Amino acid sequence: MPTDTRVKICGLTMAQDVQAAAAAGATYVGFVFFEKSPRHLSPDAARALAIEVPPGIAKVALVVDASNAALDTLTGTVPLDMLQLHGHETPARVAEIRARYGLPVMKAIGIADKSDLAQIDTYAEVADQLLIDAKPPRGADRPGGNAAAFDWSLIAGRDWPLPWLLAGGLTPDNVAEAVTRTGARQVDVSSGVEQAPGRKDQDRIRAFIAAARA
């Protein structure tokens, strides 16, 4: 198992949690801009957090089917390093956003069974990174952050011609196994390091990063 696994801590809402993630060695910190999420931030609130992120840690904005107007406001307010598209954005829309804002784009792809894998190759042609996540359960009102995992054997031993992150139901207790079984070099967590929806647990953040790199 690689010891240089890169970790993204997503859904951060408080300065002390951003600091804990940075101190523990996170590669990315994520801020959510989706009103249905308990982790939702306004651009102004995210700016206050983002300007305190140490150099070398990528600041990622998670958006869901965002309009150009919303993205204009977001990118004009928050100092960002990457946009994470977590909605139903088409490959053409991904390419459009990437060109319009000049930022690397990470596209999230939900996986439930083998039939979902084909879209990975399609989006690999237009995105800078991919986030391979669990498809939200039927009736869910959020595209991610549902504490659900998918069958890791579906992607075991597979690789794509661009960096990708494993997400979905990861916790300090299972991330080492997930890395071993999938070969993931990058992992993403949000609810798995929380004490309550939208409230991070700093001990779990530290434990998760340590386990991912054990």
Residues with active-site annotation = 10, 133
Residue with tokens 């549902």: 146
- Beta-bridge partner residues of 95: none
- Residue 177 Cα distances to 139, 147, 171, 208, angstroms: 29, 16, 10, 12
Residue 173: Cβ within 10 Å count: 12
| CA–CA dist 131, 79 (Å, integer) | 21
User: In degrees to the nearest 10, what's the CA dihedral of 77, 99, 155, 214?
Assistant: -40
